[in-house]
Homo-oligomer: A and B are copies of this chain.
Amino acid sequence: MAKIIGNALPNIPWQDKPEGCIDPVWRYSENPIITRNAVPGARSVLNSAAVPYGDGFIGVFRVDSLAMIPGLHVGRSKDGIHWEIEPNQINLVCEDKETANFTYGFDPRVTFIEDRYYVMWCNVIAGVGSTVGLAYTFDFETFYQLPNAYPLYNRNAVLFPKKIDGKFGMLNRPTSGGHCTNGCICYSESPDMIYWGKHRHVMNPTSGWQGTKIGAGPIPIETDEGWLVFYHGVTQMASGMMYSMGGAILDKDQPWKVLYRTKGMIMGPEALYERTGDCSNVVFPCAALTDSETGRIAIYYGAADTVVGLCFCEVNEIVDFIKKNS
């Protein structure tokens, strides 16, 4: 019986699995929970990250303007389902612009470590390329930007929620620019969130649904069996790229070691709001809430690059599924 290691979250958004459903993950019946209507002037609200905060929830949301330029916005919710998103982008406070060069950001993740919240995102430097942007905040009002983690060409960075052997640990995805056609997951560590090193290769794209590229999704979830990781896999179809969700269990102490990894996808595009949108056929998980009491997991994911959906699973069932389908 796999167990989540962490806090209880009694108010986690939740729906029981529908009868007859044999999949390990199921969608919220009122999906999508967030559409472009959430922010005036938005084209889409998509790949976004939520965490518990006070007696409710808070998060950093990717909002693409009508110009289709992405931006990072703070959002707040009482129940994790209905969200109020600020119309303005977060304001990054930064002492040294040179090492934290930044034009705009997208696909954020958020995690709490020790005393503060860290935000990671794909950080676009106009005319140069994209890399991993980092910041921390105590209150989601002031965000202190840190130096970018790599010189260039990296995205989908996901910090572990606690230090690994005394160091910050981060999954990341070296990449070429644009809609690149290959990409693997690596692991980097840092003593101080400023200097990064001891980079290790973790997982490659393989075949089928994850044959073109892969990238980490929500913050890894600590369980007694290891780190539970949801990630996206991409395959090139005759009609374009398709993004689906898979799962893996990483070693607790050496999280660059993959203990289990689903051969098949856990959830792929199937609902109409996942099939059609600005980018057809996209399920892109970015955040997860967990309740250690009940083992419930709620996953936020971008659908078709256009809206945000919510889906659910239980830790024991999903860990079991990943192990059996590895």
Point out residues on A near B: beta carbons under 8 Å.
22, 40-41, 43, 64-69, 96, 98-99, 101, 125, 127-129, 131, 147-154, 172, 174-180, 182, 184, 186-192, 194-201, 204, 207-211, 234-243, 256, 262-266, 268-269, 272, 275-282, 305, 325
CB distance B198 to A194 under 8 Å?
yes
CB distance B237 to A279 under 8 Å?
yes
Residue of B101, B186, B242, B277 touching A152 (CB-CB under 8 A)? B186
Residue of B nearest to A256 (CB): B98
CB distance B281 to A239 under 8 Å?
yes
Residues in B neighbouring A186, C-beta threshold 8 A: 151-152
In the assembled complex, the CB of A2 is this many whole angstroms from the nearest CB of chain B, namely 20
CB distance B199 to A150 under 8 Å?
yes
Residue of B nearest to A131 (CB): B199
Residues in B neighbouring A152, C-beta threshold 8 A: 174, 184, 186, 199, 201
CB distance B179 to A176 under 8 Å?
no
In angstroms, Cα B146 to Cα A198, docked, is 9
Residue of B131, B272, B279 touching A276 (CB-CB under 8 A)? B272
Residues in B neighbouring A180, C-beta threshold 8 A: 176
Q: Report if A41-B184 is in contact (Cβ < 8 Å); known contacts: A69-B208, A153-B176, A239-B240.
A: no
In the assembled complex, the CB of A71 is this many whole angstroms from the nearest CB of chain B, namely 11
CB distance B239 to A128 under 8 Å?
no
CB distance A174 to B275 under 8 Å?
no
Secondary structure at the A interface, as helix, strand, loop or mixed, is loop
Residue of B154, B237, B240, B262 touching A151 (CB-CB under 8 A)? B154
CB distance B151 to A101 under 8 Å?
no
Residues in B neighbouring A101, C-beta threshold 8 A: 200-201
27 residue pairs bridging A and B, Cβ less than 8 Å apart? A64-B208, A66-B264, A66-B325, A68-B235, A68-B265, A98-B256, A99-B198, A125-B201, A128-B204, A129-B184, A148-B199, A150-B199, A151-B172, A151-B187, A152-B201, A175-B176, A176-B176, A190-B197, A191-B195, A194-B198, A196-B197, A234-B238, A238-B243, A239-B240, A239-B280, A239-B282, A280-B280
**Best-buried of A198, A243, A269, A278 by chain B (most CB within 10 Å):** A278
In angstroms, Cα B194 to Cα A191, docked, is 10
In angstroms, Cα B96 to Cα A199, docked, is 11
Q: Report if A196-B198 is in contact (Cβ < 8 Å); known contacts: A68-B208, A151-B188.
A: no
Residues in B neighbouring A69, C-beta threshold 8 A: 207-208, 263
CB distance A179 to B276 under 8 Å?
no
Residues in B neighbouring A190, C-beta threshold 8 A: 195, 197
In angstroms, Cα B272 to Cα A239, docked, is 15
CB distance B239 to A197 under 8 Å?
no
Residue of B197, B207, B243, B256 touching A67 (CB-CB under 8 A)? B207
**Best-buried of A238, A241, A263 by chain B (most CB within 10 Å):** A238
CB distance A264 to B131 under 8 Å?
no
Residues in B neighbouring A154, C-beta threshold 8 A: 151
CB distance A147 to B66 under 8 Å?
no
